[in-house]
Amino acid sequence: MRSAAEARLANSADVCPNAGQGILDEYRFDVTFSQNSHPTRYLLASASCSLAAYNSLDIWILVDEYGDAQTLSFASPSFDVSYEDPQETTKVKSITITSYAAQTTLSNSSFDAQTRTLTSLHKWRGLGDAFSAGTWQFRNGRFILKHYEVDASYDGEIRASRIVEFGKAKP
């Protein structure tokens, strides 16, 4: 399984310029899709694509027990931020989702094997008080966007607004 992930990574130079540096982290887990089926084994591997002052970009590769490897893409909202005063970016008036897109890299990402969730936190500046962050959960053989939050106020404090929340009914 690891060799399939390495081969897929080697073919990802267009998305991940540092792909030749190899796999950084790998996680193995089993999933049973129904009571009558045997568990399906997976390998999830990540590699660093680039490092900047306060963000790293990672690519994630999923390999099933048959050696089928895929570079993962993650559904993410595109959004517009409106401020109370267009000259000042400390008070957010609204955040509007304009569409959804698939991204192949995640910023400062990590995987929690216990919950089978991938998280990402993209800092908009080094202080970390403005950012976007998402959580994707492994379900039915793929990673599904669970929630996404944004703190668009450059005010020195962390106060994120959850702009996407799947799995909970809204009143």
User: pLDDT digits over 132-154, tens only?
Assistant: 999 999 998 899 999 999 999 99
Whether 29 maps to a domain, the answer reads yes
Integer CA distances (angstroms), 46 to 27, 90, 117, 122, 168, in order: 9, 35, 14, 17, 30
Whether 156 maps to a domain, the answer reads yes
User: Residue 77: pLDDT band by 50, 70, 90 thresholds?
Assistant: very high
Whether 170 maps to a domain, the answer reads no
Whether 171 maps to a domain, the answer reads no
Q: 26: exposed, middle or buried (C-beta count within 10 Å: 0-12, 13-18, 19+)?
A: middle
Is pLDDT of 170 > 70?
no
Whether 120 maps to a domain, the answer reads yes
Residue-level pLDDT at 168 = 65
Whether 133 maps to a domain, the answer reads yes
Is pLDDT of 101 > 90?
yes
Based on the structure, what is the number of domains in the chain? 1
- Global pTM value: 0.90
Range of the domain at 117: 2-165
Residue-level pLDDT at 161 = 95
